[in-house]
């Protein structure tokens, strides 16, 4: 047998062994407690597997427990989102009604109403479901190394412990485990020709702002990323902007003042002043939540908003320390932007007064001074697995022979660049406005095949990747949503439990057996009629 282990992994293994670090074993180890990760852990445990869920940070649940309280499933075919996703929402509503409060929504109605909740309620439900399933949840477990034997992961070492399992699941937004395991991946955007995608390459749907993007001496203004977006048809290494999902309130009894940003420099927002003077959209989207709260989101249609464009491009390669620094850079920008909206004379008085009345919520995120703990990593690495989902699989060929879930969020990308044009003007690049079935308000429904969450067998045979799955940037613009990740994650958990039980390579797992167990766990695998009737595209 061949043992494949890097020098770094070997030295780390020796170091941990010498320190007497504990070794934990399970049938399935899930690394990353994102919606895809915690759903996978719950599903695997319900199939009878022993499961350990490892989270590198101190925060469990990713975005739905970290500020993203309006999860956009109203833009999906909700009747296809069952299983863990449906149960999670039913339990959230029950949490409210059990306390004598009004139900915030009715999860039995698969309509397009907004389903919104408070972050601490989502956290309570998530932890309860993990606990009831018997999942061991460990936080602060940063990945240090991976040991492989031939094409199988033998162990995963964090900076605290060593974990062995029959099957592993990468539940991270970033695909950290798959990268450490030597699985092929990519990041950024493909060119249009690579997969025949009309929405690939550079995208300029927003109007050009008729302002200069240059300051004195022809220097770029802050918040402008480039003077050259690159060839329109070519790909690049840019990812869509990261931001925080803010949980805000006007209620004085629950309001914590927004902290003043340290070292605030008004010059950083000269671009915003010029944009406002020219009639541009500067601000954020606010969605009402239960408890008198608001979910603040980066405005996909805005010119300048919560997204720090370009700020996430190095995230995927950053170590623990650098990711904390990038997180802090985004927090600093967020606080500065809110300070600008509250105080700058260039902002209309009505808008200033609106933001002056807002604060953080005293009953949310106490361990991070009420600021959201989870950075919104909209996309990062993407696996290059057994099959690569593309625009064509969403719009033209939605049916697959090995479906494990159905996704239907619109193809929808936030900005990737902000360009100062040499001949005048500034334009945001990379936006893809939601691609929906005409007249419905929802995206196109399509199968997610089992092969899309599996590495090529020559790279790894006991790893599932339900979040950083195998797809193009355009396809990720549709897959990158909590409803999709939860149903895909559930399927990954079931597959992992079956592979562990039968001691089988995931790529050799009998699909009929997997399908049977997915249906037993409530998964929907039949495409809805809106696709079967070939709706106008």
What is the model's pLDDT at position 23? 83
Contact by Cβ (8 Å): 199, 405: no
What is the spatial distance between Cα 121 and Cα 124, in angstroms, rounded to a whole number?
5
What is the spatial distance between Cα 5 and Cα 153, in angstroms, rounded to a whole number?
10
Which residues partner with 227 through β-bridges? none
pLDDT at residue 429 above 60?
A: yes
Which residue from 236, 339, 322, 10 is spatially nearest to 145, judged by alpha carbons?
10
Q: Exposed (0-12), middle (13-18) or buried (19+): which is 20, by Cβ within 10 Å?
A: exposed
What is the model's pLDDT at position 216? 86
pLDDT tens per residue across span 477-520? 999 999 999 999 999 999 999 999 999 999 999 999 999 999 99
- Please give the C-alpha separations between residue 174 and each of 424, 485, 506, in angstroms, as whole numbers: 37, 13, 21
What is the model's pLDDT at position 493? 99
What is the spatial distance between Cα 404 and Cα 460, in angstroms, rounded to a whole number?
20
What is the spatial distance between Cα 476 and Cα 455, in angstroms, rounded to a whole number?
17
Q: Exposed (0-12), middle (13-18) or buried (19+): which is 151, by Cβ within 10 Å?
A: buried
pLDDT at residue 16 above 80?
A: no
Contact by Cβ (8 Å): 9, 140: no
What is the model's pLDDT at position 423? 86
What is the model's pLDDT at position 281? 96
The full length of the chain comes to 537
- Looking up tokens 């009309």, which residue turns up? 198
pLDDT at residue 422 above 90?
A: no
Q: Check residue 306 and report its DSSP letter.
A: S
Instruction: Tell me the CB-side half-sphere exposure of residue 19, using CA atoms within 13 A.
Output: 15
Query: SS3 of 519, please?
Result: helix
pLDDT at residue 3 above 50?
A: no
pTM, two decimal places = 0.94
pLDDT at residue 297 above 90?
A: yes
What is the spatial distance between Cα 300 and Cα 244, in angstroms, rounded to a whole number?
14
Which pLDDT band holds residue 533 (cuts at 50, 70, 90)? very low
Average pLDDT on 130-138 reads 98
Average pLDDT on 416-430 reads 96
Domain range list for the chain: 3-187+460-506
Which class does domain 3-187+460-506 fall in?
alpha beta
pLDDT at residue 328 above 90?
A: yes
- For residue 16, the surrounding DSSP H or E stretch is helix 7-18
What is the model's pLDDT at position 71? 87
pLDDT tens per residue across span 240-271? 999 999 999 999 999 999 999 999 999 999 99
Which residue from 195, 135, 139, 144 is spatially nearest to 382, judged by alpha carbons?
195
- Please give the C-alpha separations between residue 190 and each of 90, 238, 449, in angstroms, as whole numbers: 39, 10, 21
Q: What token pair was written down for 306?
A: 């919560």
Mean pLDDT of the chain: 94
Which residues partner with 158 through β-bridges? 143
Which pLDDT band holds residue 21 (cuts at 50, 70, 90)? low
pLDDT at residue 12 above 50?
A: no
Contact by Cβ (8 Å): 296, 305: no
With a pLDDT cut of 90, the percent of the chain lying above it is: 93
What is the model's pLDDT at position 191? 98
Which residue from 373, 326, 388, 316 is spatially nearest to 170, judged by alpha carbons?
316
Q: Which is higher by pLDDT, 424 or 309?
A: 309
What is the model's pLDDT at position 529? 83
Average pLDDT on 103-117 reads 97
pLDDT tens per residue across span 142-187? 999 999 999 999 999 999 999 999 999 999 999 999 999 999 999 9
Taken in order 337, 343, 344, 349, the sign of the CA dihedral is positive
Average pLDDT on 466-474 reads 98
pLDDT at residue 123 above 50?
A: yes
Q: What token pair was written down for 157?
A: 């070492």
Q: Check residue 134 and report its DSSP letter.
A: T
pLDDT at residue 81 above 90?
A: yes
- List the Cα angle 377/378/379 in 5-degree steps: 95
What is the model's pLDDT at position 25? 97
- Looking up tokens 């539940």, which residue turns up? 171
pLDDT at residue 22 above 80?
A: no
**Helix (H), strand (E), coil (C) string for 367-419:** HHCCCCCCCECCCCCEECCCCCECHHHHHCCCCCCCEEEEECCCEEECCCEEE
Q: Which is higher by pLDDT, 307 or 14?
A: 307
Spatial CB neighbours of 362, under 8 Å, sequence gap ≥ 6:
254, 255, 256, 370
């Amino acid at each position: 047998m061949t043992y494949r282990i890097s020098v770094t992994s070997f030295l780390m293994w020796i170091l941990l062994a010498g320190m007497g670090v504990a070794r934990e074993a399970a049938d399935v180890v899930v690394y990353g407690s994102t919606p895809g990760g915690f759903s996978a852990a719950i599903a695997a445990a319900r199939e009878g597997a022993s499961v350990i869920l490892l989270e590198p940070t101190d925060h469990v649940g990713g975005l739905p427990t970290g500020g993203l309280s309006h999860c956009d499933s109203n833009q999906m075919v909700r009747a296809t989102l069952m299983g863990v996703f449906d149960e999670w929402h039913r339990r959230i509503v029950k949490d409210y009604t059990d306390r004598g409060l009004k139900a915030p929504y009715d999860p039995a109605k698969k309509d397009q109403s907004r389903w919104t909740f408070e972050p601490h309620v989502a956290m309570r439900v998530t932890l309860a479901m993990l606990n009831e399933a018997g999942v061991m949840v460990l936080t602060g477990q940063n990945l240090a190394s991976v040991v492989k034997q031939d094409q199988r992961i033998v162990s995963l070492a964090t900076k605290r412990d060593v974990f062995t399992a029959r099957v592993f699941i990468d539940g991270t937004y970033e695909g950290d485990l798959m990268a450490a395991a030597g699985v092929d991946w990519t990041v950024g955007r493909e060119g249009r020709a690579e997969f025949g995608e009309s929405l690939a390459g550079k995208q300029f749907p927003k109007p050009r702002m008729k302002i200069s993007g240059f300051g004195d001496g022809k220097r770029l203004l802050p918040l402008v990323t480039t003077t050259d977006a690159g060839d329109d048809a070519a790909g690049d290494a840019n990812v869509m902007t990261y931001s925080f999902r803010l949980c805000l309130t006007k209620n004085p009894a629950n309001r914590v003042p927004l902290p003043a940003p340290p070292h605030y420099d008004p010059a950083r927002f000269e671009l915003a002043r010029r944009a406002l003077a020219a009639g541009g959209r500067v601000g954020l989207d606010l969605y009402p939540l239960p408890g008198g709260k608001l979910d603040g989101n980066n405005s996909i249609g805005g010119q300048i908003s919560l997204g720090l464009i370009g700020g996430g491009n190095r995230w995927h390669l950053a170590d623990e320390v650098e990711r904390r620094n990038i997180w802090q850079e985004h927090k600093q920008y967020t606080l500065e932007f809110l300070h600008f909206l509250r105080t700058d004379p260039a902002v209309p008085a009505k808008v200033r007064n609106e933001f002056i009345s807002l604060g953080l919520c005293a009953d949310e995120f106490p361990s991070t001074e009420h600021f959201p703990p989870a950075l919104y990593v909209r996309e990062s690495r993407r696996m290059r697995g057994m099959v690569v989902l593309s625009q064509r699989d969403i719009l033209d060929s939605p049916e697959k022979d090995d479906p494990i879930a159905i996704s239907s969020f619109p193809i929808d990308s936030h900005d990737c660049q902000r360009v100062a044009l040499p001949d005048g003007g500034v334009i945001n690049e990379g936006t893809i406005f939601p691609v929906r079935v005409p007249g419905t308000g929802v995206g196109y429904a399509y199968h997610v095949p089992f092969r899309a969450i599996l590495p090529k067998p020559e790279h790894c045979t006991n790893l599932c990747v339900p979040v950083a799955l195998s797809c193009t940037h355009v396809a990720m613009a549709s897959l990158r949503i909590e409803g999709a990740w939860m149903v895909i994650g559930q399927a990954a958990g079931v597959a992992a439990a079956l592979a562990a039980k039968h001691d089988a390579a995931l790529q050799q797992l009998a699909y009929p057996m997997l399908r049977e167990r997915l249906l037993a766990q409530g998964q929907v695998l039949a495409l809805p009629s809106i696709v079967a009737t070939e709706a106008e595209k």
